[in-house]
Structure 1
Amino acid sequence: MKPIIVAEGLVKKFPKKTTPAIDNVNLTINPAEVIAVVGHNGAGKSTLFDLVSGFTHPTAGTLSTNINRSEIGWCPPTRNHRLVSYRASKHCTRCRAST
């Protein structure tokens, strides 16, 4: 079964920041696989989702998808709304579409 998302050595640096938001991240997601991305504030979780969904591009590394990126969605966390999921745009009015 071919992975739907493969990230190798992902790096994301933002201007005027001394530390990368994402530094050498490797990730493989297979069809029907459920994963959780957890970490403290500022750990790079949102940046990782932005990279995977195509909202932003990595500074270094490779990211390949074997899925239409329009089918990837995520809802940024807010105080009362914490849904982050594949196909979230079909369930969440606050989601950003990656099309």
Structure 2
Amino acid sequence: MSKIRLTGYIDVPEDRLEAIGSALAEHIALTRQEPGCLSFQVTPDPDVTGRFHVAELFVDQAAFDAHQARTQSSPWADVTNGITRHYTIEEGPA
């Protein structure tokens, strides 16, 4: 099995920063509790207002897919609806 790594960023419009900030802690906590989540980080960029860097690591494709399915029906999906993500997904050795 190969691990799945997602890296990239999301640029949140200024008028949505408060809502995103309110929902982010729960999104991180729920993701870190998911089976197969090895690491999940979302950190604000110190130089670009509204940019959040995202780094995820899952044990395999199935765990990553389960994460994607869960988030699609979560409050996080609602609060970030329509915001473009700039992500790269890579598969690597276990």
TM-score tier by shorter-chain length is: 0.3 to 0.5
TM-score where L is the length of structure 2: 0.33
